[in-house]
Structure 1
Amino acid sequence: MATSLPRAPVWLFDLDNTLHDASHAIFPAISANMNTYIARVLSQNGETATQAMINAARVGYWKRYGATLLGMMRHHQVCPADFLRQTHDIGPLAELLRFERGLGRLLRRLPGRKILLTNAPNSYSTEIVRRLKLHNHFSHHVAIEHMHVHRQLRPKPSKLMLRRLLRKHGVAAQRCILVEDTLANLRTARQLGLRTVWVTQYLRVSDPIGTAPLPRTLKCPGYVNVKVKSVRQLPARLSRLR
């Protein structure tokens, strides 16, 4: 009796600090824009926002909601499209982008469909992927604008969003592999039954304002199936993701 071959996985790839080095120049530029935006919002009542107030809002909302944007929306009625547009207005990306060569060949070597899943806005992530020459390798591109559930924005690490994504593409969680640099997103995915890959080479700080240094040794949590320095190591680790 013939045995059926295992079905190919569906890969969910993060973008920033997974497929390129956002920490090098892009994240600092976005961070500066975000501080300016938050300062303007917090200063609307006539009181000038201090750097401590700005940092407290960014880190506090990030820890509480998984994304600073959600806190700004819920507590300050910020328009998400305006926030994303202004914070990601960082000039010519070619001057800021740093990445490894051979990413296209890497994606071709991995069996199965690839979906880009990023909390970055669509215009920014589309331009990054185009400059990386990876746009033909992804069957779908899911940016933060596409992460609405019941008319509410639900970016990673939202379980509701991930479940909706799986239903939309008709794929079981057990067939999916999330490739990410952010542990909170990997933890949620593993709880839903996805396999997880933690990419570490571009990590420099452990908080969104760049003040908390990483520990010298990045210990691999139990909810991470495979830890790699670079996505280029994925083909060699496929057997551990079966």
Structure 2
Amino acid sequence: MTHPPSIAGRFAHIDTWVFDLDNTLYPQTADLWPRIDARITLFMMRLFGLDAISLRALQKHYYHRYGTTLRGLMIEHAIEAEHYLEFVHDIDRSSLAHNHSLAEAIAALPGRKLILTNGSRDHAIKTAKQIGIDHLFEDIFDIIAADFIAKPEPATYERFFDQMQVEPTRSALFEDIPRNLVVPHQHGMTTVLVLPEAGEAVEREAWEIATGEEPHVDFVTDDLVGFLEGVTSL
């Protein structure tokens, strides 16, 4: 996917760069999200005493309805959020290599850099450190800071704007799930949908698959590094 030479001018007003974490700052073909997904299933198996096949549909139902499986379990089963987050993010990240090109591209962006994730701060720090980009971000707004209300709920973004002192009309958001860009676009953020690299198939829910032609998507890329380099090309 190519990026037109004029792309840099479209971001000239941006002074805050906001990135989702999972499947955005690392490739969607990486094994991290499947590892987390498997840990969520295991958590539910231990909670309900049922087999994985029986629980997968419930797990995905909560994910679709509440934005995270965690939120569904909190609302409908009153589970302890901190224990859940610690358990599901207890994964091996060694398969992620340092991405020096990504680090250089993010470092070149003028202004603040923030992470906005439905995961935990601890997971974001460990994952960003594994990639070699943790030192580039001013702060992380995680699911705990969001009071466990996940993207794409409007309250999450409003809380993010307020706590992080972000002016949406001067901010850009990079995100791999299209519905998580709807509210930011309504607030005036410049939205960038990050797709899997060309020719690479990833396992996604049907509602997560995007064409890139959605009205709330301003830009689409399957090459985050190349896109960021294009943004700073002037």
TM over 0.5: yes
Secondary structure of the residue aligned to 2:17 is: strand
Counterpart Cα distance in 2 of 1:17 and 1:99: 15
Q: Secondary structure at the match of 1:24?
A: coil
What is residue 142 of structure 1 aligned with on the other side?
141
Alignment of 1:211-226 (within 5 A): 218-226=211-219
Match of 2:25 in 1: 19
Tell me the residue number matched to 2:80.
79
Q: Report which of the two structures shows the higher radius of gyration computed on alpha carbons.
A: 1
Mean Cα deviation higher: 79-88 or 21-30: 21-30
Contact in 2 for aligned 1:204/1:214 (Cα 8 Å): no
The aligned counterpart of 2:123 is: 124
Which residue does the alignment assign to 2:5?
none
1:173 maps to 168
TM-score by length of 2: 0.83
**Structure 2: gaps (5+ residues):** 1-11
* Partners of 1:182 and 1:214 in 2: CA distance: 6
Measured after TM superposition, the shift of residue 237 of structure 1 is 5.0
Residues 113 and 138 in structure 1, CA contact (< 8 A), matched pair in contact too:
yes
Percentage identity across aligned positions? 25
Contact 1:118 1:142 in 2 (8 A): yes
RMSD in angstroms over aligned alpha carbons? 2.4
| Equivalence map 1:18-37=2 (5 Å) | 18-21=24-27, 23-37=29-43
| Equivalent residue number for residue 70 of structure 1 | 71
Which residue in the other structure is 1:46 paired with?
none
Kindly tell me: are residues 221 and 111 of structure 1, through their superposed partners in 2, closer, same or farther at Cα, counting changes over 3 Å? same
Offset of residue 111 of structure 1: 1.9
Match of 1:59 in 2: 60
Secondary structure at the residue paired with 2:18?
A: strand
Preserved contact between residue 21 and residue 98 of structure 1 (Cα < 8 Å): no
Q: Is the CA contact (8 Å cut-off) linking 1:21 and 1:99 kept in structure 2?
A: no
- 8 Å CA contact 2:175–2:193 kept in 1: the answer is yes
Output the CA distance in 2 between the equivalents of 1:214 and 1:204.
11
Structure 2 residue aligned with 1:201: 196
What residue ranges of structure 1 are gaps of 5+ in the alignment?
A: 1-5, 44-48
Q: 1: CA distance between counterparts of 2:135 and 2:36?
A: 27
